[in-house]
Each structure stands twice: as C-alpha cells, then as structure tokens.
Chain A
Amino acid sequence: MKLRANLVIGGALFALAILVGLLAPWLAHTDPVMDANLLNAEEPPSWTWWFGTDGQGRDIYSRVVYGARISLTVGIVSQLINSVIGVGLGLSAGYFGGWWDDVVNALTNLMLAIPSLIFALAIMAVLGPGLTSLLIALGLTNWSFTCRLARASALSLRNQGYVQAATVLGYGDLRIMITQLLPNMLGPIVVIGTLGMGSAVLSEAALSFLGLGVRPPFPSWGSMLSEARDQITTAPWLSVFPGLAIFLTVLGLNLLGDGLRDILDPQSRSRRT
C-alpha cells in the first residue's frame, strides 16, 4: 500500500498537536496563567519570548502550548459524544426501521435545518460559559452527518448475507448491530469523526471568541484570539500564533480525514490482503 501524502502530513500535524498538549508542562517556558509581569508587557517575538507577550506580560508561546490541551480536549471529547449519538441513533434507525426510523429522521432533519453553531450558541447561553458547557453544547449539536451515514450503512448492511446468517444463528438485535453492522461501517464513521473533530476545534474557537467558551485566564486558542482582537494592529503576534495553531490543527485533521477515507474505502479494503 502506498503511503499517501495527506495521511502522512495530516497525521503528523495532529500527532504534533496532541504531543504538544500532553507535554505542555515540559514545553512551556512559564506558567500560562500565573506568570504575568507587566514589565514584559507586549514584547514582540524574540529569542526570549518566542511568540511575544501579551498586555499582562504573559508568554504567548507558553499559552499556545497550554491552549492545545483545551482546544484538543474539546475537539476530541465533543466529537466522541457526537459519534456515539450519531451512530447509536442512525444504526438503530436503519436496522429497525418503522416508527423509530421516522423519529430519528425527523430529529436529524431538525438538526440539519439549524446551523449547529447557532444551536450550540443557544445551549451555551442556557448553560453559561465554561469547559463542561462547551463539551455538552458541541457534543450535542454535530451528530447529524454521522447519523445519516450510520443509518444509510445499516439500511444496506442489514440485507447482507452475514447479517441474515446471524439472525438464523440466534443472534439478538443488539448483538447483530454491534458485531455485524458496526464493524462494517466503522471506516466512513471514523472519517466523518476526524473531519468533525476539526470543525469542533473551530467551533470552540468561535464560541470562545464570542466570550462563551473557556473563561479568560485559562488559555484556549479561541479565547486568546478573543482577548487579542483589540490589539490586532498594535500587537498582531497575539492573534497570529493562536490563529496559526488553529489553522494547522484543523488542516491536519482534514488531511487526516481525507487520507483515512482513501485507505478505509471498502473497495480498497477488500483488495488488500
């Protein structure tokens, strides 16, 4: 199998982001919240301050490094919630059909009709800002594509010989869904999940930028952008570096999703031995 460039570059960018988040305490030069020092306020990037400092003299490099933790946690956890909801609803709807399918379809159409960010915004408005609210808001609003995909896959898979064979062998519905249907639709679900993670990172940035995300002293890339917007002309490095971090992470996730789509494609899978 040929290694594809999108898979390698995307995987490397995503792995780098995760590594930075995991190793933040060792990579950071200063404490991202506590080490404010007005004597160093608004220093441009230099050998001492790699990414410059902000108005309170905090090291932007250290804040970007720690920011990876929050941004990635939100991206990964909220997408996992979406995947579980989407697969659970779509798989069961496609498998059982009937009134349950109608209910799930109506729900999915509703979710598709309302832009997910607006929906998340409404949930945040009710729950108030903070990390948990973010996870809930983003985790509940972006499962419709996964759901559609899982439903369509279940619809076609349930007529496969091995699904009927499992019924004949006495498998129950749950066992059929978990052992026969789920593994056979996992490839495309993972692809959608990877792409969804990218958009969750972006949504986190957007919500935090609007002041609804993680609360200020703690750095997420979105909240850093939000704080930096007044100084965009005087101290552009305050926006550039967190912006670059978002860009590279989302780019990486999208490339990774594309690359996975290529190798997980069911046709190329069956050709492989």
Chain B
Amino acid sequence: MTGAPLIEVEDLRIDLDDGSRRVAAAEGISFRIDRGETFGLVGESGCGKSITALALIGLLRSPLSIGGGAIRFEGREIQNLSAARQRQLRGNRIAMIFQEPMTALNPVSPVGRQIAEMFVLHKGKSWREANQLAVESLASVRVPAPERRVKDYPHQLSGGMRQRVMIAIALACGPDLLIADEPTTALDVTVQAEIIELMRNLCAERGTAILMISHDLGLVANVCRRVAVMYAGRIVEERSSADIFRAPSHPYTQGLVDSLPRLGSRAALGRSRLKEIAGVVPAITNFPDGCRFNPRCAQATDICRTAAPKTDLLEAGGLVRCHHHA
C-alpha cells in the first residue's frame, strides 16, 4: 500500500453553464481524506456541498460539469474514467447515502432484494447467496428480526428503519468511502442520534472513511476528526474538529460557532436568541468581488472588497482563507 490518501481533491472547479455563459459554482476546492478517516464538509444551504459530493462520484450532470482540477482515488485520477469504470467505483468502493430515506428506496421492491442487488451487481454473487448476505447486512445495522424484515416493503418501515436499510445498502459491498449528504436532516432528533452513532460505529469497525456533509457544524464536528467549512463555492477554513470550536479562525466559521447552542448557555436554555449570521448566501451568478463573505462580514475592510484572499496555513495546523484571520 502506498502513502497516497484514499481520496484527494486538488483545486477542483465546478462549472455551471447557464446557457449564455459558464460560471464557477465552486472553485479552488482542495482536501484529502485518508483511509478510515472521518472528514466533514459544513456550510449553509446552497454553498456547494452537494455538488462537490456529486463531482467525487462522477455524477455531475448538465448544466453542471467539472471545469478543472483533479480528483484522485487511491492516487489515480478518476474524473476522466469511462462511464463503466466510474460505475464500478460507485456503490462498490465509494458509497453514498442521502437526506431522504423516504424516497431513496424503491417502493415496489422488498428491502432485502434491494440490498441483495448490490451483491449481485458489484460482487457477482448468485441471487441465492446475495439474499443470504442481505439478511446479514440487515442484522449488522441492528434491524430486529432481519430474516423477516427482508421481505418488507419500504412503506412498512419507519423513517429511521429506512435509513438503516439505506446504510445497509451503502455498506453492503464494504466501500472504502461513505459519503453521507445530510443523512439525518429528515429524521427526528432522537432517531438522528441513533443513526449517526450506528453509521460511525459500523465505519470505524470496518475501516470505512466517512465524508459527512451537513449544514450543522455541531453534528459534523461530533462525528468527524477534521472539518472543512464551505462558503459560496469555496472552502474558507479547514481545521481539526477540536480546534474549530476552541479557536475558529475565519469570521464565517466564528459566526457558525456562535450560532450553535452551547450546553448550559442561555441560548440552549431558551432564554436568549442564538446569534445568527446576518444576510444570505449569494447566488452563484452574483458572487461579490473580493472575498465572497465581505457583504456579511463585520471585519471586512477595503481589501476584502477588491482582492480574493489566498489560503493561509495556520501555525496551529489547518488552513484558512481570509485577509484578517485570527
């Protein structure tokens, strides 16, 4: 095994073709995830997290496309692989689960069959073996009475159970990377915690790396060792989870941290309002000049409105993209 990271994204740019011109929906995206590592991508809705994930698995579709940069899986560039080769990676080496467990399962197919299909598709198993393996998969995500449950249709399962089934499907082939895009946003809070715990334990047991995507910094920092914060199509800060709470460097990250309810704080007890970041994420076609955060930034100065900040290395470890970072 070489020293190459499991997945490495270098200066990735995602273009949006709106008919008359191409604009960068995301650019300068760089990060790496090692084997078995947990990495988080955080940011408000619309800042480009999901399209980054789609780029990783080769599923950007018109009007979006990869405009530059490289995506390397185990040291090999994968963004230019043939459709068939990319398909062999998807679901097999790189798996993904979504936000919507209600709609991500085929309503007319028993859940066991949907799990078994993965073994047939990627591992060349017979249906007989695959059905047996499906029962084991369902047991591994702690679904009670799995040999009976495999025959159930999705509508017979609760939201939490369906997300367990999705995890079973995603982990069926023993992928090296699991991408979880807002995996619990649609679930209620108690179920959320269970699902996250399950996902984290299963991946830790099997050495599966996680790329966890969410708008919720608290959730991501809780699961992941390192976190990248995205704003308007750029990564603005990348730190260890511990550091990001202790000493957030980028004003946007500081805003995200301040907007989290802290245990025992007045806000968590409901006695004062949480601080929110004023303003909204700009539209892709309307990114401001200079630092894209400047219209919302309390620390902005003239240079912020004219020059885009470069990425700086922090002494404490980590990266930040701001002219006046802490």
Contact = CB atoms under 8 A, between A and B. Distances in A.
Q: Determine if chain A interacts with chain B.
A: yes
Contact of A180 (B106, B118, B122): B106
A165 B98 contact: yes
B90 A168 contact: yes
B24 to A, nearest CB: 24
A179 B89 CA distance: 20
Given A162-B107, A168-B91, A172-B87, A273 B156 contact: yes
Nearest to A272: B155
Contact of A165 (B89, B104, B122): B104
A180 B117 CA distance: 12
B155 A273 contact: yes
Contacts of B90: 167-170
A132 interface: no
Interface string A155-184: 000001110111111111001000110011
B59 A168 contact: yes
Contact of A170 (B89, B105, B106, B166): B89
A84 B277 CA distance: 57
B57 A168 contact: yes
Contact of A171 (B95, B96, B108, B121): B121
B103 A162 contact: yes
Given A165-B98, A179-B117, A273-B155, A170 B91 contact: yes
B91 A270 contact: no
Interface residues of B, number: 29
Nearest to B170: A169
Nearest to A271: B155
B105 A162 contact: yes
Contacts of A172: 87
B126 interface: no
Interface in A223-251: none
A171 B96 CA distance: 13
Contact of A184 (B102, B104, B108, B117): B108
A183 B88 contact: no
B271 to A, nearest CB: 40
Nearest to B181: A168
A172 B117 CA distance: 12
A171 B122 CA distance: 9
Interface in B69-97: 87-92, 95-96
B169 interface: yes
A170 B156 contact: no
Nearest to B153: A273
Interface in B124-179: 155-156, 166, 169-170
B10 interface: no
A273 B107 CA distance: 12
Contacts of B169: 169
B109 interface: yes
A92 to B, nearest CB: 17
A162 B121 contact: no
A160 B103 contact: yes
Nearest to B92: A170
B31 to A, nearest CB: 20
A168 B96 contact: yes
Contacts of A167: 59, 90
Nearest to A165: B104
B98 A169 contact: no
B100 interface: yes
A175 B98 CA distance: 21
A161 B103 contact: yes
B107 A175 contact: no
Nearest to A184: B108
Given A161-B98, A161-B100, A169 B91 contact: yes
B109 A183 contact: yes
A183 B106 contact: yes
Q: Which of A162, A166, A175, A180 has the most CB of B within 10 A?
A: A162
Contact of B107 (A164, A165, A170, A184): A184
Nearest to A187: B108
Given A168-B96, A169-B169, A170-B89, A162 B156 contact: no
Given A169-B170, A170-B121, A270-B155, 10 more contacts: A161-B98, A167-B59, A168-B57, A168-B59, A168-B98, A169-B169, A171-B91, A183-B108, A184-B108, A186-B108
14 contacts: A162-B104, A167-B59, A169-B95, A169-B118, A169-B170, A170-B88, A170-B90, A170-B121, A171-B121, A175-B121, A179-B117, A184-B106, A186-B108, A270-B155
User: Top 4 closest A-B pairs, CB basis?
Assistant: A161-B103, A170-B91, A169-B91, A170-B90
